Amino acid sequence: MGEIVKMPQLGETVTEGTILRWLVSVGDVVKEDDPILEISTDKVDTEVPSPFAGEVTALLVEEGETVEVGVSLMELGGDGNSTSEKPKEEAEVVKENMSEKIPEVKIETTETSTQFTNNRDQKLSPIVRKLAKENNINLSQVSGTGKDNRITRKDIEKILDSGEVVKPQEKEVKNEISEPINSEEPKKATSGNIPRLRKRIAENMILSKQTSAHVMTSVEVDFENIATLRNKVKSEFKQKEGFSLTFLPFISVATTNALREYPVVNSSFDLENNVHEYHDFINLGIAVDLNREGLLVGTIKDSDSFNLRGLARKITEVSKQLRGKEYGLEDVTGSTFTISNNGSFNSFITSPIINQPNVAILSTESIKKKPVVIESADGSDSIAIRNTGVLSLTWDHRVFDGSTALLFLNSIKDQLENHTWSEDLN
C-alpha cells in the first residue's frame, strides 16, 4: 500500500510553491527524514524531508511546475525498512505533518498583526487584510472567490486593477516588529509534534508497566579482577579491534550463562492467552541510546554462540547500526532478555522497565573504586580499594519470585568475580 507526500505549506499566507528539483527518482528507497525534493518560494529554497520510509513508486509533478499547497507530489511504497509498523498511524501523520487542516484552524498565528482589528472573525490572510486597509476597501462589500467564499488576494487585486480605488504610490514601511516566530508562550504539544520514535517508546513503556508486576532487586559486584585484566589488554584490544573493551561484554557473557542456568528468566509470559513460552535460544537485547534522541533495543541473535571477544564485536556492531539508522526490523525485535547499560551515564542504581514480552531486564550501573573489607584466608580483615558496581534486575513477579531473581543475579555476580576471564579473550 502506498503513502502520499503532499505539498507542504510554508507559511499561513503561502498558497503555492515551485518544484525546484527532485532529489530522488522512482525506485529509490528512502528513509524517514531523507530529503526528497526542493521547493522554491520567494527567496527560499526548501528541502522537504520524507515523512516516512519506503520505496518511491511515483513522482506526480514535474520539476519547474508550480503547484498549490496540499497537492500530491510523490507516492511511496510501504517497503524499504519502514520503521513504522502501523499504516494507520502513518496516515495520521501525513495529515498532521502536511498541515491539511490549516485553512480551518484559527488565524491568530505568526503573521496576524494586531493592527488590523476589523474583520477579525473572517478567515482572511494578512496580505488581504493589509491590501484592503491600505486601499480603503471595505471587505464586507467584496465577494470572495476562494474556498468557502474566502476573499483571496486575487479578489482584492481585481478591484484595484479595475481602478475603483486609488492605489498609493509607495508601499507603507513595515514599522512594527512582527510577532516572534518562536512565540513566548509554551508551545502547544499536539500529537503531530511528538516524533514517531518517541511516541512508540512512550506506548511501549506504558504497555509494559500495565502488563508486568515490576520488582527491582540488585547485587553489588566486585569487578576488580576484570578491571585489572581490562587495563592490561585495553590498548592492545583497541589496536586490534578498533573499539574499546568495556565491562559490558563480560556482563553479557555472564548473563547468557545465567540465562541458560535459569531458563525461566529467558521466557515469555502471556497471561491472557494462558501461554508461558520457554525459549530454546538466547537473544540478548542491548538498549542503545540514540544520542538522546530515543532508545532502541538491538537484538543479538543466539548470544550464547559467541565468546567474549565475539560478543564484544557484536555489541559494538549493533549499537553502531542503530545509531546510524542502518537497521532492519529483525535487528530490533525478537530479544528474549534485555541489558540496559546505564553505567555508561554514571548511574548508581536504576530500575528499568521490562522490554515486553521479556520477563526481566538487567541494568548495569557505573563501576567505581570503593573501599571494601576483604577477608583473607586466615580470617583477618583488611580494607582494600576495589572496582565495584551494582547490577540491578527488574523482573516480573507474575512469572517467578524473589528467590529465582536472586539466584540468577548471584550466578552473574559469581562468574564476574571468580571466573578466569583472561582465557576467554584468546
Partner 1 sequence: MRKLNIRWLGSLPYSEALILQKGLKESVSKEYNPYDYLLLLEHNNVITIGRTGDPKNILLDSEQLEKKGIEFFETDRGGDVTFHGKGQLIGYPIIRLEDPKKVIPFVRSLETTIIETLKSFNIDSFSKEDDTGVWTSEGKIASIGIKVSKWTTYHGFSLNIFDNLDGFNLINPCGNEDEKIAAVQTFNKEVSFDDVVKKVNEIFPVVYGYQDTDVQMSQFTPTQLKKQKTHEIDEMVDRGVFQKNKNIIPITIKGLLPDEPQRPEWMKVKANLGKDYRDLKNLISEKKLNTVCEEASCPNIYECWSMGTATFMIMGDTCTRACGFCDVNTGKPCDLDDLEPLRVAESVQTMGLTHAVVTSVNRDDLSDGGSNFFAETITEIKRVNPETSVEVLIPDFKGDKSSIDNIIRANPEVLNHNLETVPRLQREIRTAASYGRSLSLLQYAKDSAFLGKTKTGLIVGMGEEFDEVIAVLEDLSQINVDIVTIGQYLRPTAKHRPIHRYVEKEEFSKYKSIGESLGIPHIESGPLVRSSYHAKDSFASV
Q: Return the active site residues.
A: 397, 401
User: Quick check: 288 and 322 in contact, CB under 8 A?
Assistant: yes
- 296 is written with which cell numbers? 532502541
Residue nearer to partner 1 on the CB measure, 196 or 276: 196
Question: Minimum CB separation from partner 1 for residue 284, in Å?
Answer: 25
CB of 129 to partner 1, least distance (A): 13
Phi, psi (5° rounding) for residue 33?
80, 0
Q: How far apart are CA 413 and CA 418, in angstroms?
A: 8
**Whose Cβ is closer to partner 1: residue 14's or residue 372's?**
14
Of 94 and 127, the one with the shorter C-beta distance to partner 1 is 127
Instruction: Specify the residue, 172 or 423, whose C-beta has the smaller distance to partner 1.
Output: 172
Q: Please report which helix (H) or strand (E) contains residue 285, including its range.
A: strand 284-289
Question: What is the nearest approach in angstroms of partner 1 to the Cβ of residue 72?
Answer: 16
Determine phi and psi for 425, rounding to 5 degrees: -85, -15
Give me the least distance between CB of 273 and partner 1, in Å please.
Answer: 37
Which amino acid, one-letter code, is at 341?
A: N
Could you tell me the sign of the dihedral formed by the alpha carbons of 269, 270, 274, 280, in that order?
A: negative
CA angle 385, 247, 382 (to 5 degrees): 15
DSSP state of 349: -
Quick one: which of 307, 317, 403, 405 has its CA closest to 354?
A: 405
Nearest to 283 by CA among 271, 295, 297, 269: 297
- Which CB atom, from 110 or from 211, has the smaller least distance to partner 1? 110
* DSSP code at position 411: H
Residues lying near partner 1 in the complex (CB under 8 A) are found at 8-14, 20-21, 33, 35, 38, 40-49, 99, 102, 109-111, 127, 170-174, 177-184, 193, 195, 234-235, 238-239, 244, 291-293
Cβ at position 276, least distance to partner 1 in Å: 39
